[in-house]
Amino acid sequence: MNNSNKKQLFIFNTLSGKKEAFVPINNDMVGMYVCGPTLYSEPHMGNMRTFINFDLIYRYLLHSGYEVKYVRNITDAGHITNSAGEQEDSIGKAARMEQVQPLEIVYRYNLKFQELNRTYNLLPPSIEPTATGHIQEQIEIIEKIIENGFAYVKNGSVYFDVKSYMQSYDYGELSGRKVDELENETRALNAQEEKRFFADFALWKKAQDNDMQIWRSPWGEGNPGWHIECTAMSTKYLGKTFDIHGGGLDLKFPHHEDEIAQSCGATGQSPANFWMHANMLNVNGKKMSKSLGNFFLPKEIVEGTSKLFSKAYSPQVIRFFMMQSHYRSTLDLTEEALNAAEKGFERLTDSISLLENVPVSDDSSFSIPLCIQGFYDAMNDDFNAPILIANLFDAVKKINLIKDNKEAINAGDKDFLLSEMKCFVHDVLGLKHNSDSNDDRLSPVMDLVLELRQKARFNKDWDTSDLIRDGLKNAGIEVKDGKESTGWK
């Protein structure tokens, strides 16, 4: 990495509602925890947007020279779903429906999730811990919270005592919610007589007859509440307080609010200095969700099997499309917008290839360092990938003008620009090069075919040259006649 370009990184902190200078607790080490998926079904494109956005953040932190411990959990227990008034574990429910073991469900969808991570070019986190692998840690944290007077046991379940907590801490500081407002709004939803206070939430649930996953605890057999797993795992792997906690915006309340309460209640320390929330992916103006039916699977779009789109799009194009909006904005997915991204992405990657072969001059006609600084400035401003891309396209325009001898670049600047552009496109944005897709065996054949066509063109045998061109088009190969040579793709 290039330290001369390393300026102060600013991150929008949900906790303060402001952009703050990012200073890690431990010099150049960064601890980051991101709430991962609940694997009771295949993750949809909206789920993936969050993970892609945090992949960008992870990548830029690495690029900035930080040593990052990136923890992204897998929820395989304790995630309660609420259907028809019945509360039950979502994994257990899926297992019962499909008549398999709960862990078989998790294993099945985790395989798919991992495959998606590779397809969309996400870097693997440092560790992906599971809730079921940390039952003991969860129990220990719950015991601490009880010990500190912020939780109580009732009929084999344990609840967090929000009223007691509020005497020492500010419940609602992350989401900006006031408990007295909540009370009027949500009382009807809670038929939980066991709770002392409507806002109390479960840390441990007593086992019910239809539970498929049950563990022993000091309070009897049962299973953990949803929020406690993240507190247990983040504390175990990153410490009582770490640098960044991320997740989807829809987790802000109650999940993240309750995580803060649990950590403070157990350790007396707030878990994270920076809270980051990625915004939702919309389809037709509405949040993508299963209940609305406006979701599609990440593999459907790359295979072209989604009914919502007329053709397939490469994962790189989808990733590029997502990078063109800021992670804190909602993003509207439409076919027209995807087509625009496809063309733009091609132009960007083409220009990198072009830069490799562009002629050099004695002097550069524009400031390359200034150009590159623009890349860094964009990302240092709360990971503003859309501005980064706009700045990259400024470079694209310059590169094209160099080709036409309207701008010039010297050898040193060329190498500098090329390596930085590759770095930002490939390593930071996580976009693979598009040209790798051509088959090695096809290449010599195409050279031959195009040579025959050139011969025909030289002889003004337009019928033959057009026959070749149209035939290739039908085979999905596009001929691109240039001034000196003919390309294809």
Partner RNA sequence: GGUCUCGUGGCCGAGUGGCUUAGGCACCGGUCUGCAAAACCGGUUACAGCGGUUCGAAUCCGCUCGAGACCUCCA
- Site residues for RNA, 174-193, by CB under 7 A, read 175-177, 181-182, 185-186, 189-190
- Closest to RNA by CB, 175 vs 410, is 175
Q: Report which DSSP code applies to 360.
A: P
Give me the 367-396 binding string for RNA, x by CB under 7 A, dash otherwise.
-----------------x-xx-xx--xx-x
Q: Determine the 3-state secondary structure of 74 from DSSP.
A: strand
Matching residue, tokens 């870097």: 123
254 touching RNA, by CB under 7 A = yes
The residue within the footprint of RNA, chosen from 6, 163, 343, 455 (CB under 7 A), is: 343
462 touching RNA, by CB under 7 A = yes
End-to-end CA distance of the chain: 33
How many residues contact RNA, by CB under 7 A?
89
Tell me how far apart the 2 most distant CA atoms of the chain are, in Å.
Answer: 92
Beta bridge partners of 49: none
Q: Determine the 3-state secondary structure of 367 from DSSP.
A: coil
280 touching RNA, by CB under 7 A = yes
Count, in order, helices (H) and strands (E) of the chain. Answer: 16, 17
State the nearest-atom distance from the C-beta of 19 to RNA, in Å: 9
250 touching RNA, by CB under 7 A = yes
Rounded CA gap, 30 and 57, in Å? 12
The residue within the footprint of RNA, chosen from 251, 260, 355, 425 (CB under 7 A), is: 251
Q: Report which DSSP code applies to 124.
A: P
199 touching RNA, by CB under 7 A = yes
At 32, give phi and psi (nearest 5°): -130, 130
- Closest to RNA by CB, 24 vs 229, is 229
Subset of residues 106 to 165 that bind RNA, contact rule: CB under 7 A:
none
- Closest to RNA by CB, 212 vs 278, is 278
Side chain identity at residue 38, one-letter code: T
Rounded CA gap, 304 and 315, in Å? 11
The residue within the footprint of RNA, chosen from 334, 361, 373, 410 (CB under 7 A), is: 334
324 touching RNA, by CB under 7 A = yes
221 touching RNA, by CB under 7 A = no
Rounded CA gap, 150 and 265, in Å? 6
Region binding RNA by CB under 7 A among candidate stretches 56-64, 127-135, 364-372, 461-469: 461-469
Packing angle, helices 335-356 and 315-323, rounded to 10: 100
- Taking alpha carbons only, the member of 131, 109, 53 closest to residue 428 is 53
Q: What is the dihedral of CA 128, 132, 136, 139, to 10 degrees?
A: 110
State the nearest-atom distance from the C-beta of 440 to RNA, in Å: 22
- Closest to RNA by CB, 24 vs 468, is 468
Matching residue, tokens 């109390």: 200
465 touching RNA, by CB under 7 A = yes
State the nearest-atom distance from the C-beta of 413 to RNA, in Å: 18
Rounded CA gap, 326 and 328, in Å? 5
326 touching RNA, by CB under 7 A = yes
Region binding RNA by CB under 7 A among candidate stretches 114-122, 232-240, 321-329, 425-433: 321-329
Rounded CA gap, 132 and 148, in Å? 25
409 touching RNA, by CB under 7 A = no
The residue within the footprint of RNA, chosen from 71, 94, 142, 281 (CB under 7 A), is: 281
234 touching RNA, by CB under 7 A = no
- Alpha helices (runs of H) in 404-440, residue ranges in sequence order: 411-422
The residue within the footprint of RNA, chosen from 226, 275, 383, 424 (CB under 7 A), is: 226
Question: How would DSSP label each residue in 421-436?
Answer: HHIIIIIIS-PPPGGG
344 touching RNA, by CB under 7 A = yes
The residue within the footprint of RNA, chosen from 38, 64, 130, 273 (CB under 7 A), is: 38
The residue within the footprint of RNA, chosen from 24, 31, 46, 298 (CB under 7 A), is: 46
